[in-house]
């Protein structure tokens, strides 16, 4: 699959501290890519390199097959976790200013901003000063500044922080629309349920190093633990424990962890042969949150 972004053995140090330590990955074009890690893992340092705010000490970055250069930020939109609007400026002129930095002409910028204002129902904000807006309202303005130039690569760092559920859904819907239209998106957050719902690929880093990367579905399959939930009517048949460890059990549901070599079909056949009606039979895959915690803990022990 063609990559929009390729990082090869990136190293970034600050004094004696190595914030990014030989990180490599390829981001498939047109995907939503989760950049994950605990606080201090090196995510922000990586994003700063991708957006050319800083340069790596070693390694190379390719943007659509070309060495990353000062011309590429015009094709990138970056919404940082720490928002940075000029409080005294009027919203409209501020957004025009930021759009022109990204290469838009003033007329083009005003037209594009006006379309976003119409979409968000905020046309009366143009002459308001940024400081007159609430935190959530400022967040919407910051989002418009990030996407107004129609970037090929969109980088979102905790994009829903500070937003109420209605505005979170509004921003999420626009992000998903842009994705459907071909925008490649890096999504960085600590909310694993959001990653699970939106991301196709992830990279997990810890202490500046690669820990885990790949397709979300493949990663969940790799880390599964042979857990199966069986819902049933009546009594649990005698001998069920021979299929492995019973992890959970109540009156009409049981979770098995099958032993190596045992097949889920044999478990299902066991219930059928004992004439016990099965109401649910489902493999339990680990959540990204569970995988995140286990992999970070494991890598921390190794790297300590």
pLDDT of residue 304 exceeding 70, the answer is no
Q: In three state form, how does the secondary structure of 81-92 look?
A: CCCCCCCCCEHH
Summarised one tens digit per residue, pLDDT across range 184-220 is 999 999 889 999 999 999 999 999 999 999 999 999 9
DSSP assignment of 32-71 equals EEEEE--TTSSHHHHHHHHTTSS--SEEEEEETTEE--TT
Measured CA distances, 179 to 29, 147, 182, 234, 269 (Å) = 10, 12, 5, 48, 43
Please, what sign has the CA dihedral across residues 60, 61, 64, 66? negative
Q: Which of 68, 40, 36, 64 lies closest to 53, judged by CA? A: 68
CA–CA gap between residue 201 and residue 203 (Å, rounded): 7
Reported as a single tens digit per residue, the pLDDT across 260-278 is 778 899 899 999 999 999 9
Q: Quick one: pLDDT band at residue 72, thresholds 50, 70, 90?
A: very high
Q: Are 59 and 11 in contact (CB under 8 A)?
A: yes
pLDDT at 82: 77
Q: Region 51-62: what's the mean pLDDT?
A: 96
Portion of the chain with pLDDT greater than 90, in percent? 78
> How far apart (Å, rounded) are the C-alpha atoms in residues 201 and 147?
22
Residues 6 or more apart whose Cβ sits within 8 Å of residue 11: 18, 20, 21, 22, 56, 57, 58, 59
Residue 298 has what pLDDT?
85
Residue whose C-alpha is closest to residue 71's, from 95, 39, 104, 103: 103
Mean pLDDT of 16-41: 95
Listed residue (280, 233, 223, 227) closest to 255, CA to CA: 227
- Whether residue 287 has pLDDT greater than 90: yes
The per-residue pLDDT of the chain, averaged, comes to: 92
DSSP category for residue 129:
B
Q: CA–CA separation, 24 vs 10, rounded Å? A: 6
pLDDT of residue 163: 86
Reduced to 3 states (helix: H, G, I; strand: E, B; else coil), residue 122 is: coil
pLDDT, tens digit, 9 for 90 and up, residues 87-122: 899 999 999 999 999 999 999 999 999 999 999 999
Q: What is the pLDDT of residue 299?
A: 81
């Amino acid at each position: 699959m063609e990559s929009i972004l390729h990082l090869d053995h990136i190293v970034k140090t600050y004094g004696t501290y190595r914030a990014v330590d030989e990180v490599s990955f390829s981001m498939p074009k047109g995907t939503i890519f989760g950049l994950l890690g605990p606080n201090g893992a090196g995510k922000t340092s990586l994003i700063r390199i991708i957006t050319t705010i800083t340069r790596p000490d070693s390694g190379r970055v390719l943007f659509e097959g070309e060495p990353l250069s000062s011309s590429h930020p015009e094709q990138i939109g970056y919404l940082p976790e720490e928002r940075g609007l000029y409080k005294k400026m009027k919203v409209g002129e501020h957004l025009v200013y930021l759009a022109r930095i990204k290469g838009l002409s003033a007329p083009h910028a005003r037209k594009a901003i006006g379309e976003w204002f119409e979409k968000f129902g905020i046309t009366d904000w143009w002459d308001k000063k940024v400081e007159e807006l609430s935190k959530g309202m400022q967040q919407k303005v910051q989002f418009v500044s990030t996407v107004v130039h129609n970037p090929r690569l969109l980088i979102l760092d905790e994009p829903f922080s500070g937003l109420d559920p209605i505005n979170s859904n509004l921003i999420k819907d626009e992000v998903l629309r842009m994705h459907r239209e071909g925008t490649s998106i890096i999504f960085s957050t600590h909310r694993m349920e959001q990653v699970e719902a939106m991301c196709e690929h992830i990279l997990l880093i810890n202490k500046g190093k690669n820990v885990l990367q790949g397709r979300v579905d493949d990663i969940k399959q790799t880390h599964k633990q042979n857990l199966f939930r069986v819902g049933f009517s009546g009594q649990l048949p005698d001998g069920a424990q021979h299929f492995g460890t019973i992890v959970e059990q109540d009156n009409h549901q049981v979770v098995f962890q099958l032993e190596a070599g045992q097949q889920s079909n044999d478990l299902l056949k066991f219930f059928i042969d004992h004439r016990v009606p099965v109401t649910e039979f489902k493999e339990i895959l680990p959540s990204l949150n569970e995988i995140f915690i286990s992999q970070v803990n494991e890598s921390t022990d190794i790297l300590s």
